[in-house]
Amino acid sequence: MKATILCPECRNLVSYNSHFGAYFCTQCKWEDKSSGRQRTERQALLHKFRAGEKMTRKEIEEAITKCT
Ligand SMILES: [Zn+2]
């Protein structure tokens, strides 16, 4: 299933990311949290990872583990 929406922040075309279970804008990092409520913890970690923020090794491992 493929769907695209318009990012409310930067008007970039955002496609549904099954990996995150939500819409994720790669341009401004906006994400639709409403569609992935149950995965917020994992999302937060992955979001941090994607944003290039400093993460502890444990956090990165956690993000990867929860991904599978
Ligand atoms: Zn955007």
**How many whole angstroms from 1 Cα to the centroid of ligand 1?**
21
Over the stretch 5-24, which tens digit does the pLDDT of each residue have? Answer: 999 999 999 988 887 778 88
Taking phi over 0 as left and psi of -120 to 50 as alpha, with beta for the rest, 11 belongs to left
**How many whole angstroms from 11 Cα to the centroid of ligand 1?**
6
**How many whole angstroms from 65 Cα to the centroid of ligand 1?**
27
Judged against a pLDDT cut of 80, whether residue 38 lies above it is answered with no
Provide the residues around ligand 1 (an ion) whose CB is within 5 A.
Answer: 7, 9-10, 12, 25, 27-28, 30
Q: List, in sequence order, every residue forming a beta bridge with 29; answer none if it has no partner.
A: none
Domain residue ranges in the chain: 4-67
- pTM value is 0.44
**How many whole angstroms from 13 Cα to the centroid of ligand 1?**
8
- Residue 39's pLDDT band, with cuts at 50, 70 and 90, is low
